């Protein structure tokens, strides 16, 4: 990890059979107090455009994800939040495994309407890193759905993606 401020979220990419998983992390209260972006204040139901998030990333670290009103055109929506437990950071592999189970399993099916393997919608997630776990007490895995194919493009939508494949 670089020596960039610990209040920034770190992004990593893990390509799965049908999509990409992005990991980000941080702490809302500290981020807000320091005036550094919204990355810790994201909530289930917030909408955004993947291209704008990718532009904000600019590398591996991000502090702000440009949100849009879900009534406006967008291609992604946060749909599930999960708090990890434990005092010690479990390691990147364990975080990724837990995030993939949470974001690509039953929670995805409940939100979209079909299993991940059957869906034309993709999923990804934001998750804690060693740095944010230790310094910011970050334990949140935040799942999102997107119409954007990994490395490609997607159709814009208005409103929620809930039930998109029902």
pTM of the model: 0.77
% of the chain surpassing 70 pLDDT: 71
d(CA 142, CA 126): 5
Task: Please state the domain extents for the chain.
Answer: 42-146
Per-residue pLDDT, 88: 95
Indicate whether 158 pLDDT > 70.
yes
Rg, the chain, Cα only: 15
Tell me the three state secondary structure of residue 145: strand
39 neighbors 24 (Cβ within 8 angstroms): yes
- Cα 16 vs. chain centroid, distance in angstroms? 15
H/E element holding 103?
A: helix 92-104
Tell me the three state secondary structure of residue 22: strand
What ranges make up the beta strands (E) of 98-157? 122-126, 140-146
Each residue of 110-134: pLDDT tens digit?
A: 999 999 999 999 999 989 889 889 9
Mean pLDDT of the chain: 77
DSSP one-letter code for 117: G
What ranges make up the beta strands (E) of 3-121? 9-10, 12-15, 20-23, 47-48, 61-62, 67-68, 76-83
Each residue of 89-104: pLDDT tens digit?
A: 999 999 999 999 999 9
């Amino acid at each position: 990890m670089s020596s960039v401020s610990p209040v920034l979220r770190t992004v990593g990419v893990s390509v799965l059979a049908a999509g990409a998983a992005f990991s980000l992390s941080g702490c809302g209260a500290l981020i807000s107090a320091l005036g550094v972006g919204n990355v810790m204040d994201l909530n289930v139901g917030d909408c955004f455009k993947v291209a704008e998030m990718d532009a904000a990333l600019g590398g591996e670290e991000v502090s702000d994800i440009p949100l849009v009103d879900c009534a406006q055109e967008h291609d992604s929506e946060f749909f599930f939040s999960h708090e990890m437990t434990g005092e010690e950071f479990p390691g990147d592999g364990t975080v990724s495994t837990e995030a993939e189970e949470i974001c690509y399993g039953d929670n995805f099916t409940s939100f979209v309407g079909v299993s991940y393997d059957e869906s034309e919608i993709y999923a990804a997630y934001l998750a804690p890193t060693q740095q944010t776990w230790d310094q910011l007490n970050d334990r949140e895995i935040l799942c999102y759905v997107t119409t954007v194919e990994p490395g490609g493009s997607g159709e814009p939508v208005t409103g929620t993606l809930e039930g998109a494949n029902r």
